[in-house]
Amino acid sequence: MVFIFLALGTFLMASQDDLATMYRSGHFKTILQELDKRLGEKGYWNGVLSDYDTTYGWYENDKYLLMCNDQEIKLYEQVKKQLKYIQSAQAVFGRVEGDKQIEGDLKTPVGIYRLTEKKDHVDPFYGPLAFVTSYPNLYDRTLKKNGNGIWLHGYPMGCDEKDNTKGCIAVNNDDLINLSKNIDHTKTLLISNCKDRPINANKETLAELMAFIYRWRAAWKENRFDDYIESYADDFVRYDGKKLNAFKAMKKNVFAIARQKEIDFSDFTVTPYPNSLGKVLWRVTFHEDYRASNYKFQGLKELYIQEKRGYFRIVVEQ
């Protein structure tokens, strides 16, 4: 370990020729391995997260949070690692209580959704404008939930009161107009709970979760198949419907072919995932840069991770 710290110091002060010599002698690879190992340690992430307000998760990319609990919606903006309260509004939800399951059940979904589109020209029944949500999301689809057209919209024009919706979230028209001015919908998450059970995230658990993610990455990168597969839950489902055994067989072949690979993660969004199943879940998205001789990928990665008896396991992946 002393060598590693000395080598790191040398690395920071090295010229290009020095770096080439370190790489040629094998020390460069050792340094990278130690840095990867450090990313899988909780202590590192305690330091990273120390200055962040992590009340509702950790956000490197998304800027606005719309928190929907019982009869209220609150907007927060992340400013310099802190969550700043912007506005709140009374809200109405689906005519039938509970988590949406199928089309036409008149329930509002519980979960986390992106605002995929802003509609400035809508039927007057929906008020002055509307935001389309991403329901059903990836996790919803693995649970065979269906339906669509879940919007955040206003009240019918000329109507000051509204008791319920067919599953959408509705707020007063003036509040909706103010909300539209206060957000960039492409950088906004809508977190729908519809019960007075606010989600919370503590730094200790977040640090453990991030360390788990980077240990999973290290096993993937270093071709340690057994350690990699151990990161997945027995009831794992991939976005295309593959269950654990089929996924395991596919990945075993991939690992045999792509022995040398580079994998980088960035731009994390990590949120406790509200759900009606009584599970402790996390939604994690990030930018993945995967490079191997036979395949390259750059794009969004989405994971749903379950915390159970002190362990984390991936239950859904895309």
Residues 130-147 as b/e (b if ≥16 CB within 10 A, e otherwise) read: bbbbbbbbbbbbbbebeb
Answer whether residue 70 shows pLDDT above 70. Answer: yes
What CATH superfamily is the domain 58-192?
L,D-transpeptidase catalytic domain-like (2.40.440.10)
Total Cβ atoms within 10 A of residue 75: 20
pLDDT computed for residue 72 by the predictor: 92
pLDDT, greater one: 61 or 111: 111
The model scores a pTM over 0.75: yes
pLDDT in tens, 191-220: 998 565 567 789 999 999 999 999 999 999
Residues 6+ apart with CB under 8 A from 230: 219
pLDDT in tens, 132-189: 999 999 999 999 999 999 999 999 998 877 888 999 999 999 999 999 999 999 999 9
pLDDT computed for residue 36 by the predictor: 87
pLDDT, greater one: 6 or 179: 179
C-alpha distances out from residue 245 to 26, 75, 229, 307, Å = 38, 42, 10, 21
pLDDT computed for residue 6 by the predictor: 46
Report yes or no: 269 and 59 within 8 Å, Cβ to Cβ.
Answer: yes
pLDDT in tens, 274-313: 999 999 999 999 999 999 988 899 999 999 999 998 899 9
Average pLDDT, whole number, for the chain? 91
Pick the CATH number of 41-52+201-317 from 3.10.450.50, 3.90.180.10, 3.40.50.970, 3.40.50.2300: 3.10.450.50
Report yes or no: 137 and 100 within 8 Å, Cβ to Cβ.
Answer: no
pLDDT computed for residue 160 by the predictor: 73
Answer whether residue 240 shows pLDDT above 90. Answer: yes
In whole angstroms, what is the distance from residue 160 CA to residue 244 CA?
51
As annotated, the residues of the chain forming the CATH 2.40.440.10 domain(s) are 58-192
As annotated, the residues of the chain forming the CATH 3.10.450.50 domain(s) are 41-52+201-317
In whole angstroms, what is the distance from residue 125 CA to residue 78 CA?
33
